[in-house]
Amino acid sequence: MANTGLQLLGFFISLVGVATTVAATFMVEWKKQAQGKTHRIYEGLWMSCSGNERTTCEIHESLLKLPTEVQATRAVMLFSLFLSAVALMVSTVGMKCTRFMDGMPENKATTAMIGGVMFMISGLLTIIITSWYVKMIVDTFHETHRLHSYEFGKAVFVSWAGGLLTMAGGTFLSCRRCCKSKSPESMSSNLLATTNPKSNYV
């Protein structure tokens, strides 16, 4: 029962991490720039926004005109979300609380572990690409004039949090001890051993 609880905990942590990663992917404030005291410019992976009190947004229409860090981050984040979606389906099949593969406990445990590993890879990809994006923004900030350069925004922190949560949930799911189930044969042999103790005495 405890193992089932750990699996459920890992699954829901991963689910929260994936939802956080989705939110970060579509957030506008991946990088920001201040022009004057009130005018702000925000750049996301899919659109850019600017304005004072009232903000107007425009969707990025041309992929080739985007900076390298935006193109790479967009691609890796989408791949990470796709991998998380597959991990959700795989781990659902392998969890003890589901009715799939009940007759094959070893295969069911292996399936849950594979889903957890996929979650860990997805979270690691998110953390790596977000860190690289931040490094590119910081390098550009130091190379150009600070009044005309961007700073990284709130979306990178949300993305880091999503990656960490996804990895943490995947760690619980990929724990072999948490996933492994006793086979019916071993359970019956243990029951016979306890009910029929040795009776040969010297």
Q: Quick check: is 99 in a domain?
A: yes
Per-chain mean pLDDT for the chain = 78
Q: Quick check: is 135 in a domain?
A: yes
Q: Quick check: is 155 in a domain?
A: yes
Q: What is the pLDDT of residue 101?
A: 64
Q: Quick check: is 7 in a domain?
A: yes
Q: Quick check: is 109 in a domain?
A: yes
In this predicted structure, the answer to whether residue 47 has a pLDDT above a threshold of 90 is no
pLDDT band at 138 (very low <50, low <70, confident <90, very high): confident
Q: Quick check: is 195 in a domain?
A: no
Q: Which class for 181: exposed (0-12), middle (13-18), buried (19 or more C-beta within 10 A)?
A: middle
pLDDT band at 17 (very low <50, low <70, confident <90, very high): very high
What CATH number is given to the structural domain containing 92? 1.20.140.150
Output the six-digit token pair for 171.
């760690």
In this predicted structure, the answer to whether residue 87 has a pLDDT above a threshold of 80 is yes
Q: What is the Cα 202 distance to its own chain's centre?
A: 62
Question: What is the rounded distance in angstroms from the CA atom of residue 67 to the CA atom of residue 43?
Answer: 11
Q: Quick check: is 42 in a domain?
A: no
Q: What is the pLDDT of residue 79?
A: 95
3-state SS class at 96: coil
Question: What is the rounded distance in angstroms from the CA atom of residue 158 to the CA atom of residue 178?
Answer: 29
Q: Which residue has the tokens 């042999």?
A: 189
Most confident region among 16-30, 43-57, 146-160, 167-181 by mean pLDDT: 16-30
If one counts the domains in the chain, the total is: 1
For residue 111, the number of C-alpha atoms closer than 13 Å in the C-beta half-sphere is 20
Q: What is the Cα 111 distance to its own chain's centre?
A: 18
**Average pLDDT rounded to a whole number, residues 55-76:** 82
Q: Quick check: is 122 in a domain?
A: yes
Domain residues for the domain of 136 are: 2-29+64-183
Q: Which residue has the tokens 């903000």?
A: 55
pLDDT band at 153 (very low <50, low <70, confident <90, very high): confident
